[in-house]
Amino acid sequence: MSKLRDRLEEFKTTFESGDPPYNATPEVVATMHQATAELKASGIENTALRAGDRAPDFTLFNQDHVEVASKDLLRQGPLVVSFFRGHW
């Protein structure tokens, strides 16, 4: 099992090389770097919840349209919650 970091790094190298299948131009790569740098500079990382804060409760639908409530799950034990941008 290779580390996630290595797999992501490999993807990034391929993408930024401009080679197929992505064929990213240097302009595209520069644009994406600029956006990330701007987001970092906005200071948003410092306003996100952090260790020691109380986590908000949430009730959301899962992939099978079943409602999942964090409160119910927390009664059984801790949770690992990962925020994911999407399948694309």
Partner 1 sequence: MMELEALQEIDSEVRSLGVRMLIITPELERYTRGVHRKLQLTFDVLTDLHLKTAAQFGLVFTLPDYLRDLYKSFGSTLDRFHDETEYRLPMPARYIIDSRSIIRAADVNADYTIRPEASETVRLLKELASSESVPKLDKKDSE
Give the binding site for partner 1 (CB under 8 A): 1, 3-5, 7-8, 11-12, 28, 31-32, 35-36, 38-40, 42, 44-45, 47-58, 60-65, 68, 70, 73-88
Instruction: State whether residue 60 is helix, strand or coil.
Output: strand
**Residues facing residue 60 across a β-bridge:** 68
Structure tokens at 27: 């302009």
Alpha carbon distances (Å) from 81 to 26, 50, 52, 63, 72: 35, 13, 15, 16, 14
Nearer to partner 1, 20 or 78 (CB): 78
Q: What is the smallest separation between the CB atom of 64 and partner 1, expressed in angstroms?
A: 7
Nearer to partner 1, 26 or 38 (CB): 38
